[in-house]
């Protein structure tokens, strides 16, 4: 199947494409509890190859493979009615960094993409890392 990776013992299959990563991201979002999912309607989700130099510099990172995802926006608790006319919040997943981590760790790709997706969604809600882990566990429990 095009875009899907198959890992064979002793070899590698084709690397997942951006559409595959985005499909996993959207499937993860679909499994979130309703109280979270209903507040994600305006967020733009995107998959890019890797972070640009400007983004890396702003975060103090030197290498594009060091960043697997990023939330661009203001957390819900910091938004106000004065924010009208601003660009919608965005969550970007960086395909090459995700694939590098996938290869290095051996974690299932869908689990890794779900983890990055939920982490970035957590920033949208202003959640702590502990809260994000609980949300991730909740999404896993709802998996079909």
Q: What domains sit in the chain, N to C, each tagged with a CATH number?
A: 14-77+84-141 (3.30.2010.20)
Structure tokens given for 50 = 């890797």
Q: State residue 1's pLDDT score.
A: 37
Q: Please report, in tens digits, the pLDDT of each residue of the chain (144 residues total).
A: 344 443 333 335 678 999 999 999 999 988 888 877 777 777 889 999 999 999 999 999 999 999 999 998 876 655 545 555 567 789 999 999 999 999 999 999 999 999 999 889 888 877 777 777 776 677 666 655
pLDDT of residue 7: 39
User: CA 9 from chain center: how many Å?
Assistant: 28
What pLDDT is stored for residue 10 in this prediction? 33
Give the pLDDT confidence score for residue 114 in this predicted structure: 93
The answer for residues whose C-beta is within 8 angstroms of residue 120's C-beta and 6 or more apart is 69, 70, 71, 91, 93
Contact 32, 135 (CB under 8 A): yes
């Amino acid at each position: 199947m095009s875009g899907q990776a198959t890992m064979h013992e002793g070899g590698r299959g084709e690397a997942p494409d951006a559409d595959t990563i985005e499909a996993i991201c959207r499937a993860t979002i679909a499994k979130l509890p309703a109280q979270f999912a209903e507040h994600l309607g305006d967020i733009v989700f995107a998959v890019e190859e890797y972070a640009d130099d400007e983004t890396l510099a702003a975060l103090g990172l030197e290498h594009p493979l060091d960043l697997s995802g990023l939330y661009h926006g203001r957390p819900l608790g910091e938004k106000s009615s004065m924010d009208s006319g601003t660009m919608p919040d965005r969550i970007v997943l960086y395909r090459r960094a995700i694939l590098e981590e996938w290869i290095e760790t051996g974690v299932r790709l869908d689990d890794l993409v779900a983890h990055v997706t939920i982490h970035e969604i957590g920033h949208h809600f202003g959640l702590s890392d502990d809260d994000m882990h609980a949300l991730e566990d909740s999404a896993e429990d709802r998996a079909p």
